[in-house]
Each structure stands twice: as structure tokens, then as C-alpha cells.
Amino acid sequence: LAENQFEEAVQLYHASQYLEKQTTEEDVILKDHANLRADTWIKFFFLRGYSYILVRTFDYKYEDPTSKREICPREMVVAPDSEEGKKCYQKTRTGYLILRKDIDNFFFDLSDNFSKIYNNDSIVIFKRINNNSQAL
């Protein structure tokens, strides 16, 4: 890894450490694999099973018409307050998002449905605000 990529990996490690302490096994977390570097090990950090964490992957993987890939992870990152995004949050019960700073977090910064709970040089974590179980 280049020095900058190494620093981003360290920043992601610290963010994951913080989030692991803030969540329980019942909490659902979404990470943005499309933009995070060195993120594949995060699922092992939480020790909640290999398939524990939800993952938004590269956009081209959602564009294959023959694929039955679930589109919710993409919608929850790129359009969190859209009708589809809201349905996906309800369906998956996702409460936390790990994003690379300054990529896609613009929508979350403007939303009344999410609160920034962690921020470092490379990573930002948002928590979904439940609004007393009202539909988002």
C-alpha cells in the first residue's frame, strides 16, 4: 500500500474499533466497499460472522440485467432519503453506515434522518435516526 492508502487503512481501523464498541450484535451496519480502501477485513473485526456486514459494491455489478443482486445497499448509500432508499432501510433494519469521507456523505450531511457520529481524516460514520419507529 502507498503511504496515503496505509494511512486510510489505519483510519478505517480506528473507525471500525469505535463502531464495534458502539453497536451490538443486533445492529445492522452497511459499508461502502466501492469507495473504502482496505475494507474487506472489517467483518472479521466485529466477529459477528463472515456474512455479517451489508456491503455496497461497485456500481457495474448492479447493472447486470441477468443478476439477481440486491440493490438495497446501493440505494441506501446513493439515495438514502429516496422512497426506495427508505424502503431499503426499513427492510434491512440498517442503523449504521461506514463511508469514505467526502464521497457520497453529502446526502447524509443534509438529511434529518441521519446523524454523523464519527469523523476522521478518511472515514465518516452515520447513525440512522429512528424517529420513534416512524417510517423514514
pLDDT tens, residue by residue, 77-105: 999 999 999 999 999 999 999 999 988 78
How far apart are the C-alpha atoms of 59 and 73, rounded to whole Å?
Answer: 11
How far apart are the C-alpha atoms of 63 and 50, rounded to whole Å?
Answer: 25
Q: Which residues pair with 115 in a beta bridge?
A: 127
Q: Is the pLDDT of residue 43 over 70?
A: no
How far CA 77 is from CA of 6, 31, 84, 88, 133, in Å, comes to 24, 9, 11, 10, 21
Answering whether pTM is above 0.85, one says no
Mean pLDDT over all residues of the chain? 81
